[in-house]
Amino acid sequence: MSEDERRHDEDLSASIDGQLDPRREAELRAELAASPQAQARMRALSRVDEALRPLPETPVPAGIAEAVRGRITDDLARRRRLRLRWAGGAALAAAAPLALLLILPRVGGEPPLEVASSEPGGSRPELEVVAEEAPAADAVEDLLAEASEEELAIALDYEVLADLDWIEDLELLERMADEQAASGGAEREETRGEQG
């Protein structure tokens, strides 16, 4: 298929989706009226939609809504605990050296953590306990306290839109800016890869 033919074929598909501008749509309709071959192709593409449309709805099984509510309740409680823990540990944290938490890649469940302190023997045991129950919460709180509103918004959107239960990585905010800057290039790379 030549490039022109491919573009024409893409326009047939876009016409099915109602996504052509009116001028191109009118041109295409005129071409279709004059070309049995184009009509046949349009019919072939349209049949896909005719097959997809009647696929049945997927009823939500009983109990799922309640399960969502349960998870929300747990999530709220967990976050409340973390806030209390952070408030209680604030004085200690103010005196303690800034800890560095390195978060290893997650392999199901909670991510394993390695905790190190810039001051040996400092607050490491305390932080380990925190880390076991609440991944990186204190460190994240430290970081978020320093973050600009823009960084915070990016991080929170990232948490919602991507697969993170918490903003777990101390390096996350730094990476955010890099990823935002590089996202255009990465997207283009991905696009090229998928095209190939």
The interface region with another protein, picked from 7-15, 83-91, 121-129, 131-139 by CB under 8 A, is 7-15
The interface region with another protein, picked from 59-67, 83-91, 133-141, 174-182 by CB under 8 A, is 59-67
| Tokens of residue 166, six digits | 């918490």
Q: Which residues in 83-112 contact another protein (CB under 8 A)?
A: 108
12, 47 contact by CB (below 8 A) = no
Residue 59 interacts with another protein (CB under 8 A): yes or no: yes
| Tokens of residue 2, six digits | 């030549």
Q: Which of 71, 80, 83, 175 binds another protein (CB under 8 A)?
A: 71
Residue number with CB closer to another protein (56 or 121): 56
| Tokens of residue 131, six digits | 């880390």
Dihedral angle of Cα 21, 22, 25, 27, to the nearest 10 degrees: -120
Q: Which of 3, 21, 36, 51 binds another protein (CB under 8 A)?
A: 51
Binding site for another protein (CB under 8 A): 9-10, 13-19, 25, 32, 39, 42-61, 64-65, 67-68, 71-72, 75, 108, 153, 156-157, 159-163, 183, 187, 191, 194-195
